């Protein structure tokens, strides 16, 4: 499996290999229409992907801008761990590479993530 994609009602997600992925990794990309946000769709998608990682023999990652607090929160509450900070050589932007950890607990009440050069961000559900 190298790519899985879904599109409906201006909501889109896909799993694919990218420049940020290692051999056994797939990166999730998604866009949710503003009217469809905060309804739990991506939480369900990440829950499904998290459960399928072992079966697929792949690790699911997300590359997220540290300024996109909603996506950072979604990934962390779904059991992601920060793996590394990536730098876009063209724009200079920094991104977080978050790994969906199958052993991490779901839905803890507080999430803290140190983002270099941005400060300590604490997210609460």
The CATH number covering residue 58 comes to 3.40.630.30
Number of domains in the chain: 1
Point out the least confidently predicted range of 76-85, 87-96, 116-125: 116-125
pLDDT above 60 (res 70): yes
* The pLDDT value given to residue 27: 92
* The pLDDT value given to residue 65: 92
- Tell me: the pLDDT tens digits for 96-114? 999 988 776 554 433 344 3
What is the domain extent for residue 92? Answer: 3-124
- DSSP H or E segment with residue 123: strand 119-124
Instruction: Give whole-number Cα distances, 15 to 1, 67, 102, 113, 122, in Å.
Output: 9, 22, 17, 24, 28
Asked if residue 100 lies in contact with residue 46, where contact means CB atoms within 8 angstroms, the answer is: yes
* The pLDDT value given to residue 118: 37
- Mean pLDDT of the region 41-54: 86
Asked if residue 80 lies in contact with residue 98, where contact means CB atoms within 8 angstroms, the answer is: yes
pLDDT above 60 (res 89): yes
CA–CA gap between residue 5 and residue 11 (Å, rounded): 11
Contact partners, residue 114, CB within 8 Å, separation at least 6: 120, 121
pTM of the model: 0.71
CA–CA gap between residue 40 and residue 2 (Å, rounded): 26
């Amino acid at each position: 499996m190298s790519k899985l994609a879904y599109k409906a009602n201006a909501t889109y997600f896909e799993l694919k290999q990218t420049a940020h992925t290692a051999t056994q990794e797939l990166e999730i990309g998604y866009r949710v229409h503003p009217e469809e946000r905060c309804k739990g769709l991506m939480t369900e998608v990440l829950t499904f992907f998290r459960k399928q990682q072992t079966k697929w023999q792949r690790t699911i990652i997300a590359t997220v801008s540290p300024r996109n607090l909603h996506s950072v929160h979604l990934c962390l509450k779904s059991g992601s761990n920060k793996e590394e900070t990536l730098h876009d050589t063209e724009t200079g932007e920094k991104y977080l590479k978050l790994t969906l950890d199958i052993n991490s607990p779901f839905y803890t009440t507080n999430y803290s993530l140190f983002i270099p050069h941005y400060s300590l961000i604490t997210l609460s559900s």
